[in-house]
Amino acid sequence: MRNKSQKSEVRSQKSKELVTFFLLLLTVHCSLFTDYAYSQGLIVMANKISGELPLDPDNSAWNRASGIEIPLAPQVMAKPRVYESGIKKLNVRALHNTKEAAFLLTWEDNTEDAAVDVDRFSDAVALEFPSSSSEGKPHFAMGDTEKTVNIWFWKAAWQSRSDGDKVYATSDDFLGGVLAGNPVSEERTLPVENLVAQGFGSATDMEKADIQNITGSGKWKSGKWAVVFKRPLTSDGRFNVKFKEGSVTPLAFAVWNGSEGDRGGRKVVSTWYYVGFETEEKKTIYFYPVLAFIGALGIEAGIIMGIRRKRV
């Protein structure tokens, strides 16, 4: 879909124009830029605190994190596509304590969908980062063949996992998915999963190949989900993302609404945003990485708008 040479020529022409435009804009507003980026909600600041990071979404420590709002749009890049969704946005907050990073994601959803049945699907949320081995930014939609993404996935059904029907069970010797070692089929101890992807339909669980070092927890209350992800700043494995105090990392979001039949590619998504890990130094240290990223963001926005217009 993205390989058509003619289209990419046109696209690269447009890209050049956009880059020029952004560079001009940024040169003019150089000293003001970091503030500008914050005010536009492009960077979420992982505020530095001391002590243990909270796993509970209700923990008061989250009051010390400044959040930003992320608009979400239905996924229209790959089939099956969605065009409408009741989920329009989420709020993200982040904290770090020089050893660990934690994210709190909250969004409005009137129904708590945690049960799974033939035609019932679970609510879920995911964070996406470039893998540490990816040079530059991968494609925001599930990464690309050159550059992989690291996805942290939380699912309501895993948070309150039911044991299914044991009533009629005669034997557990015939659980195909379990025998095949499918992580979706096996009993889960955590509601989160660490994935790597290099494009649509390629998300692969890394629990077996790598150390599962993400923890998480979610709660639904009064029409609102609150989900926490937590992980050490650095993590082994070339597919995992690595964070560093005083640096900026791209991140993107996806939300699934079970009651609307969301699963797999049926979801609402964002393009790349950025998380900055607070340090005592000046805010402007985030300037250069963001400057580089921001140009690409504009191009992506253009591409998405183009795709949306083209889709029949």
Partner 1 sequence: MAKNKVNNWQIRREMFYPYEEVRPQKQFAAVFDINKCIACQTCTMACKQTWTTGRGQEYMFWNNVESKPYGFYPLAWDVKILEALGAQNWDGDRYSGKTIFEAAPKGQAVEGYLPEDADYAYPNVGEDEPFGEVKKGDYITIPHRVWHFYLPRICNHCTYPACVGACPRKAIYKREEDGIVLVDQKRCRGYRECVRACPYKKVFFNKTTKIAEKCIACYPLIEKGEQTQCIRTCIGRIRLNGWLHLPEKADPSNPMDYLVHIKKVALPLFPQFGLEPNVYYIPPIHVPAPYLRQMFGPGVEQAIKTYKTAQNDETLLGALTVFGSSEFRVSKFRVSKGVVTGYDDKGDELVKVPLKEPVFIRPFHDEKLQVYRHNIT
Residue 198, token pair as written in the block? 């290099």
84 binds partner 1 (CB under 8 A): no
Q: Which stretch binds partner 1 (CB under 8 A): 60-68, 125-133, 194-202, 225-233?
A: 194-202
CA atoms within 13 A on the CB side of 128: 26
- Tell which one of 179, 209, 292, 307 touches partner 1 (CB under 8 A): 179
**Stretch 105-134 residues interacting with partner 1 (CB under 8 A):** 116-120
Angle at Cα 126 formed by Cα 124 and Cα 127, nearest 5°?
A: 160
Q: Roughly how many angstroms between the first and final C-alpha of the chain, as a whole number?
A: 15
Cα–Cα separations (whole angstroms), residue 112 to 74, 107, 121, 173: 20, 12, 10, 33
5 binds partner 1 (CB under 8 A): no
185 binds partner 1 (CB under 8 A): yes
CA 116 to chain centre: 23
Q: Which stretch binds partner 1 (CB under 8 A): 13-21, 126-134, 177-185, 286-294?
A: 177-185
Nearer to partner 1, 46 or 116 (CB): 116
Nearer to partner 1, 10 or 175 (CB): 175
**Stretch 210-229 residues interacting with partner 1 (CB under 8 A):** none
- Minimum CB separation of residue 150 from partner 1 in Å reads 17
- Tell which one of 82, 101, 124, 125 touches partner 1 (CB under 8 A): 82
**Is there a contact between 177 and 213 (Cβ–Cβ < 8 Å)?**
no
Q: Which of 236, 250, 242 is nearest to 293 (CA)?
A: 250
* Bridge partners, residue 117, by sequence: 120
- Tell which one of 5, 51, 172, 189 touches partner 1 (CB under 8 A): 172
**How far is the C-alpha of 268 from the C-alpha of 262, rounded, in Å?**
9
Nearer to partner 1, 143 or 250 (CB): 143
**Residue 11 neighbours by CB distance under 10 Å:** 16
Nearer to partner 1, 57 or 258 (CB): 258
Residues lying near partner 1 in the complex (CB under 8 A) are found at 1, 76, 78-83, 116-120, 164-166, 168-182, 184-185, 200-203, 261, 263-265, 311-312
